[in-house]
Homo-oligomer: A and B are copies of this chain.
Amino acid sequence: MKIITDVSKKKTIRVGNVEIGGNKPIIIAGPCSVEDEEQVLKIALEVKNQDASILRGGAYKPRTSPYTFQGLGEEGLKYLKNAGIKAGLLTVSELLDIRDIDIVEGYVDIIQIGSRNMYNYPLLKEVGRLNKPVILKRGLSASIEEWMNAAEYIASNGNLNIILCERGIRTFETYTRNTLDLSAVPIIKGISCLPIIVDPSHGTGRRELIIPMSMAAIAAGADGVMVEVHYNPEEALSDGEQSLNFDEFARLCQRINDFTSFFSK
């Protein structure tokens, strides 16, 4: 590695009026899957209402079984983009298939590479050729070193606007869906120039852990969190058990806000 380990060049990534890796932790929120036009708009308005800055929503879903809901595809991206515009939010969505790169790039402000694709080197090289920020999630069982090398695949192709995202690793523990490895936050801060955010929704898989683990992430130095929000988690088409409802989301944003003002004093 050469590029992302140059800690003398700490990167702050600017997208629109949002700064990632700056002084204020960001909040990325939205539904696991874009389900329909109304759903994503309703959630987007609440995300904006709580002063979060980026709207997430999956249109291409990497599902374990070929027989479950695979996402709305391009239609989902349209709904996401429209919701973002109406609510005044930036958008992020996952790119699964290298052949969809132009489509996804056309709709979103930030491209997400999911955990299952962290070792998909052709895909990493291609997003490395774009002029658009990339959120690179850590692989399910990727070591810190492999994860950083994956980022280097992107960087070495020219795109330095990379945001790492810790989202839990696979361990023997079954109480949580994954084990959120928050030590990755200060490690990445110490040995790379990239910002890092944390996804406690996937990282724990349990709604009641999202707020405390978000606070822990920020106390560890994370540049933000990415969480799943739904007005009715019980009825979400995917990942309902790890989505905050609106009340919980409001509480999360309030606490992060308090925290930030405390630290910036």
Contacts and interface: CB of A to CB of B under 8 A. Distances in A.
A212 B208 contact: no
15 contacts: A64-B149, A65-B149, A66-B125, A66-B149, A66-B152, A67-B152, A98-B99, A116-B120, A143-B174, A171-B171, A179-B183, A183-B203, A187-B209, A212-B219, A216-B217
Contact of A117 (B63, B119, B153, B172): B119
Nearest to A65: B149
A258 to B, nearest CB: 8
Given A122-B96, A173-B169, A65 B152 contact: yes
Chain A contact patch, size range: 35 or more
B182 A173 contact: no
Contact of A172 (B96, B152, B172, B216): B172
B208 A145 contact: no
Interface of A: 1-2, 62-67, 96-99, 116-117, 119-122, 125, 139-141, 143-146, 149, 152-153, 156, 169-176, 179-183, 185-187, 190, 203-204, 208-209, 212-213, 215-221, 259, 262
